[in-house]
Amino acid sequence: MPPQDNRFLYLISRSVSRLKYYSIQKFQGEGVNVTPSQMGILFLLLKDGDKTMSELSTALNIDNSTLTRLADRLVREGFAERIRDDTDRRISKLRITENGRAESRKALRITKEINNEIIRGFSEEEIAAFVKILESFLKKF
């Protein structure tokens, strides 16, 4: 197929949409009460500890208004809490709660299952090539 006939943007966009919808369905079906986007915040807090909204926005490549909406729901549901920075009381950070940790454990199991479904049926070489392509997207864009 000549390069001009490739529909990469369309195929990638559709794949991301479908995967997000599938993930939401799997989370809901297994009793996980957060969305995959909210889960990204919890995973980052679990891994790295308390973060400012700015740090989360940069790490997750989410605009501030979207991040604030996601964080507000996490706080409202008891999965995270806002705390003041020890060095500068004007700065607020987000911290994962014990409920958030428990929710993260449930979601991590489902996330691993989805990752396994994604790679099922592909050779190690194909998986390595796919990872290389995805990583190149992150660098290019």
- Enumerate the domain spans of the chain: 3-140
* Confidence grade of residue 77 (pLDDT, cut at 50, 70, 90): very high
What fold does the segment set 3-140 form as a domain? Arc Repressor Mutant, subunit A (1.10.10)
pLDDT value of position 86: 79
Q: What is the pLDDT of residue 24?
A: 94
Q: What is the distance, to the nearest Å, from the Cα of residue 86 to the centroid of all Cα atoms in its chain?
A: 27
Give the model confidence (pLDDT) of 98-109 as tens digits.
Answer: 999 999 999 999
Mean pLDDT, the chain, rounded, equals: 92
Over 90: is that where the pLDDT of 2 sits?
A: no
